[in-house]
């Protein structure tokens, strides 16, 4: 009797959890936080268009070499004085050429590599710095917080461009150092945001629970608190990248960023000022490239913000 019952029980016990796990997995897959955010994001048409343009731009930047090899069939620095100021589509110059006969499309494509590369690198550096400083300030509080946040206040009150101007006048900047310098001023706003979030999260019960179990400070900060602050960081990153692209373009435009002959969208615009009586397209195109990229990332960033945290919507 008892053995039968036991067998029966063990049979159901053996079957039921299997079913449960299956349904759990099925439901769980679509109900995770990120899964739901992704579904919300997919419904936002403008954000998806932005994402598409963004991916396209990244592919173009990565494939710059292939494009110059197979599509435009020209090198970015190759000059030809017999083919200067070609019109759009003239003689194989898809978007025309400049006063030295350099192919505009090839240069734009290589410019994308510089613009997106600098923005990408500086956002990664700024993310790291801002997150660490914000987390430490928010978690420890007291004098550490005071010192770090007063520093942030100071950085916020010097107009960014003036500070960058000072730095650019003191050192000669290449793409790598430029990214680091831009990151050096960009992390400030993030650290403020992260600090506020960390202060809110650190009083939650699971943080106390982790502490009771004997988890150390650093592990609590980066394994227990940080994942809950992640949405804020992701949204900040997606909304700050357009600003960084503009900043790099502005510095290069002023002649303090990426130096010619390396093409960047900013210094192409500077160059176009010299020749605009000959070619309006040269003024229009680099600016348009910046505009489209920045606009697309802004659209995507807005959508991402709405999807990740509907409360943040303005």
Partner 1 sequence: MGRFILRRLLQVIPLLIGISIITFALANLVPGSPVSGLEFNPRTSPEDIARIKDNLGLNDPVWKRYFIWIGNVAQGDLGISLRNFRPVRETIIEKLPNTLLLTGTSLLFALIISIPIGVYGAVRRNSTFDNVSTATAVAGFSVPTFWLALMLILLFAVKFREWGLPSLPAGGAYDLRGGGGLFDRMEHLLMPAFALAFVQMAAWTRYIRSQMLEVLNQDYMRTANAKGLRERIVIFRHGLRNAVLPLVTLLGIAIPDIFAGSLIIENIFAYPGIGQLAFNAAVNKDYPLIMGITLVAGTLVIIGNLIADVVYSMLDPRIRLD
Of 276, 278, 310, 312, the residue at the interface with partner 1 (CB under 8 A) is 276
Cβ of residue 21: shortest distance to partner 1, in angstroms? 45
Of 78, 149, 165, 210, the residue at the interface with partner 1 (CB under 8 A) is 165
Contact flag: residue 256 with partner 1 (CB under 8 A): yes
Contacts of 240 (CB under 8 A, 6+ apart): 123, 126, 186, 189, 190
Span of 132-140, 164-172, 192-200, 226-234 interacting with partner 1 by CB under 8 A: 164-172
**Secondary structure of residue 90 in the 3-state scheme:** strand
Secondary structure of 26-81 in the HEC alphabet?
Answer: HHHHHHCHHHHHHHHHHHCHHHHHHHHHHHHHHHHHHCHHHHHHHHCCCCCCCCCH
Contact flag: residue 255 with partner 1 (CB under 8 A): yes
- Paired tokens of 29: 């897959």
- Report the 10 Å Cβ neighbour count for 115: 31
Candidates 173, 172, 171, 155; CA nearest to 163 is 155
Span of 65-73, 88-96, 106-114, 153-161 interacting with partner 1 by CB under 8 A: 153-161
Contact flag: residue 291 with partner 1 (CB under 8 A): yes
Contact flag: residue 52 with partner 1 (CB under 8 A): no
Contact flag: residue 5 with partner 1 (CB under 8 A): no
As a whole number of angstroms, the distance between CA 243 and CA 233 comes to: 16
Contact flag: residue 71 with partner 1 (CB under 8 A): no
As a whole number of angstroms, the distance between CA 180 and CA 118 comes to: 9
Closer Cβ to partner 1, 23 or 169, answer by number: 169
Of 23, 157, 212, 214, the residue at the interface with partner 1 (CB under 8 A) is 157
Contact flag: residue 3 with partner 1 (CB under 8 A): no
Cβ of residue 292: shortest distance to partner 1, in angstroms? 9
Contact flag: residue 88 with partner 1 (CB under 8 A): no
Contact flag: residue 23 with partner 1 (CB under 8 A): no
Give how far the C-alpha of residue 281 lies from the chain's centroid of Cα atoms, to the nearest Å.
29
Contact flag: residue 168 with partner 1 (CB under 8 A): yes
DSSP H helices in 158-279: 160-170, 175-201, 205-213, 217-219, 226-253, 265-275
- Paired tokens of 127: 């993310």
**Secondary structure of residue 91 in the 3-state scheme:** coil
DSSP summary character for residue 96: -
DSSP summary character for residue 206: H
Closer Cβ to partner 1, 12 or 280, answer by number: 280
Contact flag: residue 290 with partner 1 (CB under 8 A): yes
Binding mask 216-245 for partner 1 (x = CB under 8 A): --------------------------x---
Of 246, 268, 281, 307, the residue at the interface with partner 1 (CB under 8 A) is 246
| Residues pairing with 90 in the sheet | 93
Closer Cβ to partner 1, 86 or 299, answer by number: 299
Contact 87, 96 (CB under 8 A): yes
Contact flag: residue 294 with partner 1 (CB under 8 A): yes
State the residues that interact with partner 1 by CB under 8 A.
150-151, 153-163, 165-171, 242, 246, 249-250, 253-256, 269, 272-273, 276-277, 280, 283, 287, 290-291, 294-295, 298-299, 302, 314
């Amino acid at each position: 009797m008892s053995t039968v019952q036991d067998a029966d029980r063990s049979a159901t016990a053996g079957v039921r959890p299997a079913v449960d796990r299956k349904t759990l997995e099925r439901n769980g897959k679509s109900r995770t936080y990120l899964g739901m955010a992704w579904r919300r994001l997919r419904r936002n048409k403008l954000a998806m268009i932005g994402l598409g343009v963004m991916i396209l731009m990244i592919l173009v930047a990565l494939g710059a070499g292939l494009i110059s090899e197979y599509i435009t069939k020209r090198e970015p620095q190759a000059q030809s004085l017999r083919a200067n100021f070609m019109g759009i589509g003239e003689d194989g110059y898809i978007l025309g050429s400049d006063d030295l006969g350099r192919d505009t499309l090839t240069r734009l494509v290589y410019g994308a590599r510089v613009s997106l590369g600098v923005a990408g690198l500086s956002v990664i550096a700024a993310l790291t710095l801002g997150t660490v400083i914000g987390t430490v300030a928010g978690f420890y509080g007291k004098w550490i917080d005071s010192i770090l946040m007063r520093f942030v206040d100071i950085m916020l009150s010097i107009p960014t461009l003036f500070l960058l101007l000072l730095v650019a006048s003191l050192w000669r900047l290449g793409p790598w150092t430029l990214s680091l310098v831009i990151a050096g001023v960009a992390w400030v706003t993030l650290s403020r945001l992260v600090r506020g979030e960390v202060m809110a999260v650190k009083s939650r019960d699971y943080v106390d629970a982790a502490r009771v179990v004997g988890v150390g400070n650093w592990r609590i900060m980066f394994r227990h608190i940080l994942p809950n602050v992640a949405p804020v960081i992701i949204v900040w990153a997606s909304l700050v990248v357009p600003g960084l692209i503009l900043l790099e373009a502005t510095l290069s435009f002023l002649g303090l960023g990426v130096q010619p002959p390396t093409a960047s969208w900013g210094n192409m615009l500077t160059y176009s000022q010299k020749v605009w009586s000959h070619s309006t397209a040269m003024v229009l195109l680099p600016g348009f490239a910046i505009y489209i990229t920045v606009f697309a990332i802004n659209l995507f960033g807005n959508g991402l913000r709405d999807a990740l945290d509907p409360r943040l919507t303005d």
